[in-house]
Amino acid sequence: MTMHSAVLLPLTLLVAALHTTSTSARFAHTYGSHMVLQKAPQRAVVWGYYTSGTVDQVTLSLDAVPVPVFEGQEQGTWMAKLPATPASNTPHTLVLSENNTTTTLNDVLFGDVWVCSGQSNMAFLLQNAFNGSALVKESINYPNLRVFTSFKNNSPRPLAEQPHVQERWSRSSPAAVSQAAHRLHQVQQPLDDDWLIFSAVCYLYGVELMKHTSYPIGLVNTNWGGTPVEFWSSKESLEQCHDDQNTSGGAKNLPKGIVGGAYNGMLKPLLNMSIYGAIWYQGESNANDVVTTVDPQGLPMVTYGCTFPSMIADWRKKWHEGSLGETSDMFYFGYVQLASWVASGTGPSQIRWAQSAGYGHVPNVQMPNVFNAVAIDLTDRTSPYGSVHIRDKVTVAKRLSAGGLAMAYGNKNVYWQGPIVKSASARVLTHTNSSRPGLGGLSIVITFDNVGANGLEIRNATGWEMCVLDANNPGLNCSLTDAANTTGVHGTWFAAHVLGSSNSTVTVKGEAEWGEILMNDQQRTMVRYGWKSLAWEYKQGGVYSMDFPASPFVVVVAG
């Protein structure tokens, strides 16, 4: 799904919606019956609007026990911190009163609340995934999984709350996790997009968590197809990645109204909620980001390597402040590394690398408490929704939830992420037919960390490339955006293949005329892996461990 102006609400309509009159206090639109609130040790924050001259006229109770109410962060709003409540499948009741009028929220559960955001691969419907019809039917088995969907709203200014809700809090059921919700009038407005109810990755991630936690999970679904990371970033976040023109490198070429629009209209209204974590599936719309920074190896990196970590840090800071300290300022954040799609050249490889801030793995010093799912091997050439929209969202969610369970839930028995490149060293091979001494072929030994109990599994010998850098050349003569070739031209990428492997190492050798490359102190070699837009076919990636593929990487080889 692409972002289009037809679904944007006019500002006048937004203002009118935010100033509807009422004779009594109300909850903000993000709260409702059947919701999940954040469990202990955090305290769930609830808030809303009141109509009297003073907040003292507003009363709130949880299971008939009074809860103190105080002035909110916005004019005319009330807030409350509920008592720290343990997770359970037992429903609770919230009652709000003002001017002798009450509003009751029933069937409220306490568990963990996760926010799901991004662009169209996060929006991708459960019913459209592989085996989607069966997955939708099975949703009736998880009544304590609760779902909520935001209305798509591009705002030029930060809003206290969304003017509308696309799907109110609902129990997991076929009606709640498919477009049937619209037909059953569980939404407040006509659908503003045909990909909103309900996100496959978000739902399946929640199901995997519930299988292990056995307590309620609340899913806040807020996404918009075709949107760049800048659309979900605050002004303060983007200021961390300004270029010399005082404009974010990734944002300067975006149409007016895109930068910060979803943050203002869709994220800001959620910040008062207490949450446990967030997951993210986005990056396709930043595939053409320009190089504005360098990675930890000193190699060129696109702007996303700054804007994405900056957005995560900013969300954490603002959620911590908005929820009055109840949401951790280091809450867990998971993302899906972009899968393969049909495109020329290296396609999204630069974004895949930048998604880890150029470290090739998470967590790292720039992205603490972050986990991910590697999806480069989930190629779906024949997807009727375009090859960029892969349908195997079950594998995506299982890999992502493995990271969530290991990190956010401390399950040390869960293997996740796959092998992580540790180092690369060169080995010179002498050609027996070489008549020139000192010349030889070159093989590279790649050593991996995070290898599972069964060691490395090589499913495909392809996907490797090498390039030689000349220290006398002041410029980097191995462009990370160039596709591999076998011409033997110095300074370009050569295709390579696997010679052999061990429990934790892979040895690769260039397929071109490496015998003509002199290894000396004036040169160094780079190796990259999985750098093509579509490197392999479905689940036929190069290096795996425990069915988790290694993430694409580029590494400078030690001399």
Structural domains in the chain, sorted by start: 27-108 (2.60.40), 115-407 (3.40.50.1110), 420-556 (no CATH)
Name 219's bridge partners.
114, 147
Higher pLDDT, 324 or 297: 324
273 to each of 223, 234, 236, 404, 468, how far by Cα in Å? Answer: 17, 18, 21, 20, 52
57-107 per-position pLDDT tens digit:
999 999 999 999 999 988 999 999 999 999 999 999 999 999 889 999 999
Residue 523: pLDDT over 80: no
Contact 229, 284 (CB under 8 A): no
**What mean pLDDT, rounded, does the chain reach?**
86
User: What average pLDDT does the segment 335-345 reach?
Assistant: 88
Q: Mean per-residue pLDDT for 412-420?
A: 95
Q: How confident is the model at residue 507 (pLDDT cuts 50, 70, 90)?
A: very high
pLDDT class for 481, splitting at 50, 70, 90? confident
% pLDDT > 70, the chain: 82
Q: Dihedral of the CA atoms 243, 244, 247, 249 (nearest 10)? A: -40
pLDDT of 10 over the 90 cut: no
Question: How far is it, in rounded angstroms, from Cα 94 to Cα 60?
Answer: 7
In this predicted structure, what is the pLDDT of residue 325?
A: 98
Q: What angle separates helix 200-213 from helix 393-407, to the nearest 10 degrees?
A: 40
- DSSP code for 541: -
**The two three-digit tokens of residue 500, written as one number:** 């052999």
pLDDT value of residue 443: 83
**What is the CA 126 to chain-centroid distance, rounded?**
17
CB 188 within 8 A of CB 168: yes
Least confident segment among 2-6, 115-119, 185-189, 448-452: 2-6
pLDDT at residue 488 above 50? Answer: no
- Pick the range with the lowest mean pLDDT from 149-163, 239-253, 356-370: 239-253
3-class SS letters over 3-25: CCHHHCCCHHHHHHHHCCCCCCC
Q: What percent of the chain has pLDDT over 90?
A: 69
More confident residue, 433 or 422: 422
Query: CB–CB of 247/290 below 8 Å?
Result: no
**Higher confidence at residue 472 or residue 427?**
427
List the single range of 37-51, 181-195, 349-363, 501-515 with lowest mean pLDDT.
181-195
Q: What is the pLDDT of residues 138-180, one digit of tens each?
A: 999 999 999 999 999 999 999 999 888 889 999 999 999 997 6
Count Cβ atoms below 10 Å from residue 479 Cβ, excluding itself: 15
